[in-house]
Amino acid sequence: MKTDAGSLGKVAVLMGGSSAEREVSLMSGRGVLAALQSLGVDAQAFDPAVRPLEDLRKDGFQRVFIALHGRGGEDGTLQGALTLMRLPYTGSGVLASALAMDKWRSKLLWQAAGLPIPDYAVLDETSDFAAVAARLGLPLFVKPAREGSSIGVIKVKHAADLAAAYREAARHDDLVLAEQAMEGGEFTVAVLGEGTQLRALPSIRIVPATEFYDYEAKYFRDDTRYLCPSGLTPAGEAEMRDLALRGFQILGCRGWARMDFLLDAAGRPYLLEANTAPGMTDHSLVPMAARASGMSFPDLCLRILELAHVE
């Protein structure tokens, strides 16, 4: 039974913000806003880079849809502020958001739980870059640990280029990872719901026309291919969805998220990272998976909003 839109009260769709992903957040937020309004929800845009958060209370908002990406929106800080304001908000709470945003610490938790992840190393100025390249193999990826949308990610093909790649990634974050490359394909699985209604949506295989699935390929290119059904065997699909649910639950996520995977040459899946406020643009993957499972974009937005909570 669909929720009565009026019962959700006045809804702020948080978009924009001041992170490196502002442009993408504005695209996501506009899509979500239009979808909710099309269902009769009293939703309004709210850009925290323009207005102070305390205006949410002052202006009588009763619920918040977080369409902010990256730092200040997806890393637990905003979730903490909204929790203190006692305003229900979409997605994961403070701790899960912070853990998912930090690729190193999420890997540590998944490792401790026995879940498969690509081999990696934490880099700093004193790292033995040649030894890292020898251990992880080439090519490998260097990335800021606490950025999203592939911002600052560099594919390194030659060991001599690793130090320069580290310095470039360190411009975005003082915590930098080198990560083993896997050539079996890139996949993603959306997770939606709570309690007994928690489920993993159909997997999507991502086939970029570029060197890898970078910022441009994610949001602006029209030659990136998305395969859903993804081409996995039924057993492979079940395994990946199960891993997505386990990775989601180990981090303590709530409501919705997108879990990204790599396959090795033998077809084994490895958890790559979790996104607790995934993109909701016309290129985005959660809406694509929802459509494959019979859910329209407006209904997806409404379902996420229904799951809004205060920790």
> Which are the catalytic amino acids?
21, 149, 219, 258, 260, 273, 275, 279
Q: Are 244 and 191 in contact (CB under 8 A)?
A: yes
CB count in 10 Å sphere of residue 112: 9
Task: Specify the residue for token string 């086939």.
Answer: 207
DSSP, collapsed to helix, strand or coil, labels residue 289 as: helix
SS (H, E, C) 105-163: HHHHHHHHCCCCCCCEEEECCCCCHHHHHHHHCCCEEEEECCCCCCCCCEEECCHHHHH
Residue 271: name the closest of 285, 251, 292 by CA: 251
Alpha carbon distance 172, 286 (integer Å): 26
* Contact indicator for 69, 284 with CB cutoff of 8 Å: no
Total residue length of the chain: 311
To the nearest 10°, the Cα dihedral for 148, 150, 155, 160? -50
DSSP 293: T
CA atoms within 13 A on the CB side of 204: 25
- Rounded CA gap, 148 and 8, in Å? 30
Q: In the chain, where does DSSP find H-type helix?
A: 22-38, 55-58, 77-84, 94-101, 103-112, 129-136, 162-170, 215-219, 234-251, 285-292, 297-306
Provide the sign of the torsion angle of the four alpha carbons 311, 62, 303, 217, taken in this order.
negative
